[in-house]
Structure 1
Amino acid sequence: MDWLRELFIDHSVIQAVVVVSLITAMGLVLGKVKILGISLGVTFVFFIGILAGHLGLSIDPQMLNYAESFGLILFVYALGLQVGPGFFGSFRKGGITLNMLALAVVLLGTVMTILFHIFTGVSLSDMVGILSGAVTNTPALGAAQQTLKQLQIEETDPALGCAVTYPLGVVGVIIALVVIRKMFLDRTVPTPGEDMKSHTTFIVGFQVCNPGIFGKTIRETALLAYHKFVISRLWRDGRVSIPTSDTVLQEGDRLLVITSETEVGTLAMLFGEQEHVDWNKDDIDWNAIDSQLISQRILVTRSEINGKKLGSLRLRNHFGINITRIYRAGVELLATPELVLQLGDKLTVVGEANAIANVEKVLGNKVMSLKEPNLVAVFVGIVLGLIVGSIPFVIPGVSFPVKLGIAGGPIIMGILMGAFGPRLHMITYTTRSANLMLRALGLSMYLACLGLDAGVHFFETVFRAEGLLWLGLGFAITIVPVLIVAFIALKIMKVDFGSVSGMLCGSMSNPMALNYANMIVTGDNPSVAYATVYPLTMFIRVIIAQLILILFL
């Protein structure tokens, strides 16, 4: 049985791969198990690694360090690449409020961490680990570990504190949402369907019967309404056409309009009469409605289009077509001129066949160009990220330079590559499935190695009075900032409950809590708010984990 020992016990390259793979596989399988509707997902790999380390399983220290570091680098870079396209857009109007509230959650937790260190005597490195677990942010833990190595402090491991507080960090946000919902149910939770109606595109037919708009152009009519809508088709004297902003409306015109369901009543008063035809059924054959026009979905695959506003392309004026809807990451958006296009967007185009063929040339519509992974951009981005992470920065009052390290540098470069890469003619787009694969692979490797390393002393740390203190401190860091900021957002700033719940989940890097928020709130406000605040708070937490150690250790 020597071959079996060599495979699982004796340190070698093969043994390291086998051990890390088994820990990862077992953790991913068990992570799908739900208890009271909650599962830990990929994070369970961490706890399987801890158990394996406690039972005496180990791999070569250099292999462990390499796999752990590379996994973290791959995860944070892919994460930055995903959130990059929307990172800077999240600071626009509306997003600023949510990001400021999310930063308040981050800062309150940071202040509590420092105060707990001062008044309880828990070491600062342990408190940073407790903070990372309490806010379910493993990249911050990785950044803290790299900073401790940079400071040549290795007698303490923040991974222990993270492992102790992580489960309650997941559950704590959900508990906070339950409490907040009970406190503010009557005022803040939208009635069933109300929130969905305000965000989902809705197709409706109107007949122009309002004398007030006879002889006015569509542009002039739109200025009267102050509501967003797109007129897809216009029927007049038995003929159908694609209207432009200069098209003059006449009595009896029939219009096919794309808007939101909450705007239907207002637009009915504007145009005159709503037609009682259900245009929102899934089985409508749009190409059979008339013989002159066809409807086709075109995929944006040309990098030159990424980041441009839809109106700036002037597709309607050049080709006589109309873009009615845009599908992005499973969400249907209204095709307004101000909408900024991204690679991978699917545009619903209505027009004549020849015109649509020309639009297809402009937008690309080459599916294979997006499906083929551009690994050059991934590895070049990782190299640039490590270079950025190695640059020393001088902070006033700090006796030595600060580096962003292998967690901070790659996530910054990932964000920059995702946001500006296409504008520099770099193909940085990855499909959602490819990005998830990179992130899951990197995070699994990192968590497996992290748990394996922390498991040696885990149980002797947890099952003592200090371990119980860590649990209490971590739970306080999880729930107190969430409740305080929720009160401010709901009672003082009057933000709706759906947006607040998503903002809180994003600020705590907690997708499990987001799943719960989506179950109790109708509509996509939680997901939109989560995506709005997640990039900035993820970046800030990685930096703060390092700054706490550098400034106060």
Structure 2
Amino acid sequence: MEWVGQLQSAQPITHAVLILSAVIASGLALGSAKVRGIGLGIAGILFAGIGFGHLGFTILPEALEFARDFGLVVFVYAVGMQVGPSFFASLRQNGLTLNLLTLAVVVMGAAVTVGLARLFGIDMAAAVGLFSGATTNTPSLGAAQEALRSMPGMDPARVSLPPMGYAIGYPFGIVGIILSMLLFRALFRADPVAEAKEFEQAARGQVKSPVRMNVRVENENLEGLKLEALPGLREWGVIISRIKRAGEAEVRRAHPSDVVHVGDTLLAVGARGDLEQFRLVTGAESAEDLVELPGPVQRQRVVLTSKNVVGKTLAQLALDRRHSVTVSRLTRAGLELVARPDLRLQFGDMLQIVGQRDDIDRAAKELGNSLKELNHTDFIPVFLGIALGVMVGAFPLSFGNMPAPVRLGIAGGPLLVSIILSRIGKIGPLVWHMPVNANAALRDFGICLFLAAVGLKSGQRFFELLFGAEGWLWVVCAAAITLLPLLVVGLAARLILKRNFTEVTGLLAGSMTDPPALAFACAMSNSDGPTVAYATVYPLTVFLRILAAQGIVLFFAGG
């Protein structure tokens, strides 16, 4: 292997790529190995990196830091893009409870840190490093060091203690969070896959999914009214897509200007409760199913891929008037929605269109309906979004007499920006949508780079610190800082608040700002469900952990 050493000095960047690739490949192989159905998963890369680092495989420090930070940025940006469309709905429904649980995790972790440091006589400068590492939160480490430097008369040797504590605490922080998930899985006898399906079904239940109902007009007060004038259509969001005249056998597409007569049968689409209201006003449910009856009317699902249409509402698009077709329902991110006129369209929306074949074809052409475009990744918005996220993360926020400004960092900034951009959908010619396959690839690529770099860096001194004079004491303290808050809050969330296991794992990973734990939770449940809770609590967690680290330094590290 002498040539590897020669490569390091002659071509350091090539050497860095070689070592990082070897760490990732061996780590993924290690993570795929399972004992009684349990494996390390993506966290195997971290342990492979520690092993490589311990064996002396080092790379250019600048390349190592770039791989770590760039991997983290790419990962959190992809996570934000994935959860953005559902983030704000989750925040409204569960945000307060989840963030209060997160606050409890942070406060308990800080209290355990201070208590153990005083009990065992650990320097508080080292303890705050353990706090940052055991909670896998790099921004709080930087904030703690900055706070130490700002204190008058501070010994420079003490300023170097937080990174040492961080190096010990970080690997055990990642392992501790994963162990807590496995412990809860066994304790609650939870089936992660089944719980994830329940979680997704509950999320769908919070959205008024459309169904169809055939309604026969019996209310004589409606005789002679135009279809668009029927009571309740706008208020209840009911769509009339087909009509069958009394005494006729053929079904045709319903038009807003059609005059309604008693005995006509209407095919109405909307939420179940809204359709019941409409039926009570209009007449009675008919045994006839207009979808099955003969006529020139067809239906087709069309995917929105035209950038010229993204961002418009269905009312602005006016497909009914311009192409003589009706949009009866819409599918977005796996959820079916009622096609209300005020619904703003996003790239990748799947519209169910009702009309005659030629009319549907014209509407489909305007909407795009291109699988090639749907699966194409435009990297201009991706890197613009990442750049904007890094800028937001680097922006200093000053509060009161704090010794150093608070920053969201390279993890919090891109996450916040990607959530907002994915919610907006389009700005001018830029469409922020990212195809599912591209998102998954970027997410996995980022976390692999991040874990490989962290493992390599930790491995260089990991065993030296571990087997040092205070190594085992630091390890025990780091484990306690990680596990105690998670166990208490996890038990409360599951047993008292009756939270779904999928949501609990996302909460635990988010409260520790731990991307590997999130990846593990998603792999365990075979679902992206944990990312919703993770993204809900992540921004506040970053802020609270920075404040907590600085508070430990300011109030307990003096002297």
TM-score (norm 1): 0.77
Which residue in the other structure is 1:493 paired with? none
Which residue in the other structure is 2:155 paired with? none
Which residue in the other structure is 2:284 paired with? 272
- Counterpart CA distance in 2 for 1:334 and 1:30 is 46
- Matching of residue 170 in structure 1 with residue 178 in structure 2: yes
- Matching of residue 550 in structure 1 with residue 550 in structure 2: yes
- Counterpart CA distance in 1 for 2:501 and 2:342 is 27
1:471 to 479, 484, 488: 479
- Counterpart CA distance in 2 for 1:352 and 1:440 is 44
- 1:405–1:198 CA distance, 2 compared to 1 (3 A): closer
- 1:415-434 map, 5 Å: 415-420=419-424, 422-434=426-438
- Matching of residue 58 in structure 1 with residue 58 in structure 2: yes
**Equivalent pair of 1:147/1:405 in contact (CA under 8 Å):** no
**Equivalent pair of 1:268/1:274 in contact (CA under 8 Å):** no
Local SS of the residue matching 1:239: coil
Which residue in the other structure is 2:23 paired with? 23
Which residue in the other structure is 2:454 paired with? 450
- Matching of residue 239 in structure 1 with residue 235 in structure 2: no
Which residue in the other structure is 1:156 paired with? 162
- 1:517–1:227 CA distance, 2 compared to 1 (3 A): farther
- 1:108–1:221 CA distance, 2 compared to 1 (3 A): farther
How far is 1:98 from its partner? 0.4
How far is 1:31 from its partner? 2.6
- Matching of residue 324 in structure 1 with residue 328 in structure 2: yes
Matched to 1:376, the amino acid is: I
Which residue in the other structure is 1:185 paired with? none
How far is 1:103 from its partner? 0.5
- Counterpart CA distance in 1 for 2:543 and 2:504 is 19
Which residue in the other structure is 1:186 paired with? none
Which residue in the other structure is 2:302 paired with? 298
- Counterpart CA distance in 1 for 2:373 and 2:54 is 47
How far is 1:435 from its partner? 1.7
- Counterpart CA distance in 2 for 1:474 and 1:333 is 41
Which residue in the other structure is 1:441 paired with? 445
- 1:531–1:468 CA distance, 2 compared to 1 (3 A): closer
Which residue in the other structure is 1:76 paired with? 76
- Counterpart CA distance in 2 for 1:35 and 1:209 is 64
How far is 1:203 from its partner? 5.3
Local SS of the residue matching 2:353: strand
How far is 1:489 from its partner? 4.0
- Counterpart CA distance in 1 for 2:183 and 2:417 is 35
- 1:141-290 map, 5 Å: 141-147=137-143, 153-157=159-163, 158-173=166-181, 175-176=183-184, 204=212, 206=214, 208=216, 210-211=218-219, 215=223, 223=232, 230-236=239-245, 237-244=248-255, 249-258=260-269, 272-273=284-285, 275=287, 290=294
Matched to 1:535, the amino acid is: A
Local SS of the residue matching 2:427: helix
- Counterpart CA distance in 2 for 1:258 and 1:26 is 53
How far is 1:511 from its partner? 5.7
How far is 1:124 from its partner? 1.7
CA distances 1:489-538 after superposition (whole Å, capped 9, x unpaired): 44xxxxxx5xx44443332344654676789xxxxxx94xx565443322
Deviates more, 1:421-430 or 1:212-221: 212-221
- Counterpart CA distance in 2 for 1:190 and 1:6 is 55
Deviates more, 1:318-327 or 1:1-10: 1-10
- Matching of residue 402 in structure 1 with residue 402 in structure 2: no
- 1:73-152 map, 5 Å: 73-87=73-87, 89-90=88-89, 95-121=91-117, 123-132=127-136, 141-147=137-143
Matched residue pairs, number?
A: 511
Which residue in the other structure is 1:483 paired with? 491
**Equivalent pair of 1:31/1:40 in contact (CA under 8 Å):** yes
- 1:117–1:11 CA distance, 2 compared to 1 (3 A): farther
Local SS of the residue matching 2:300: strand
- Counterpart CA distance in 1 for 2:160 and 2:10 is 26
Which residue in the other structure is 2:466 paired with? 461
- 1:377–1:114 CA distance, 2 compared to 1 (3 A): same
- 1:148–1:77 CA distance, 2 compared to 1 (3 A): farther
Matched to 1:301, the amino acid is: T
- 1:350-361 map, 5 Å: 350-361=354-365
Local SS of the residue matching 2:346: coil
Identity %: 25
How far is 1:24 from its partner? 0.7
- Counterpart CA distance in 1 for 2:41 and 2:220 is 58
- Counterpart CA distance in 2 for 1:39 and 1:337 is 49
Matched to 1:272, the amino acid is: A
How far is 1:159 from its partner? 4.7
Matched to 2:75, the amino acid is: F
- 1:71–1:486 CA distance, 2 compared to 1 (3 A): same
- 1:486–1:2 CA distance, 2 compared to 1 (3 A): closer
- 1:231–1:39 CA distance, 2 compared to 1 (3 A): farther
How far is 1:25 from its partner? 1.3
**Equivalent pair of 2:222/2:230 in contact (CA under 8 Å):** no
**Equivalent pair of 2:242/2:253 in contact (CA under 8 Å):** yes
Local SS of the residue matching 1:296: strand
**Equivalent pair of 1:198/1:261 in contact (CA under 8 Å):** no
Matched to 1:97, the amino acid is: Q
CA distances 1:107-161 after superposition (whole Å, capped 9, x unpaired): 11111111112211161221122223xxxxxxxx343455467667443332532
How far is 1:391 from its partner? 2.9
**Equivalent pair of 2:268/2:275 in contact (CA under 8 Å):** no
- Point out where structure 2 has 5 or more consecutive residues left out of the alignment: 150-158, 191-196, 510-517, 554-559
- Counterpart CA distance in 1 for 2:207 and 2:486 is 31
- Counterpart CA distance in 2 for 1:28 and 1:71 is 16
Which residue in the other structure is 2:557 paired with? none
**Equivalent pair of 1:95/1:532 in contact (CA under 8 Å):** no
How far is 1:39 from its partner? 4.4
Which residue in the other structure is 2:43 paired with? 43
**Equivalent pair of 1:6/1:15 in contact (CA under 8 Å):** no
- 1:499-510 map, 5 Å: 500-509=500-509, 510=518
**Equivalent pair of 2:83/2:532 in contact (CA under 8 Å):** no
How far is 1:431 from its partner? 0.8
How far is 1:99 from its partner? 0.9
CA distances 1:293-350 after superposition (whole Å, capped 9, x unpaired): 2322222223454444444534334433222232323343343345442211111211
Structure number with larger C-alpha Rg: 2
- 1:259–1:390 CA distance, 2 compared to 1 (3 A): closer
CA distances 1:420-463 after superposition (whole Å, capped 9, x unpaired): 46133323322111122122112111110101111234355388
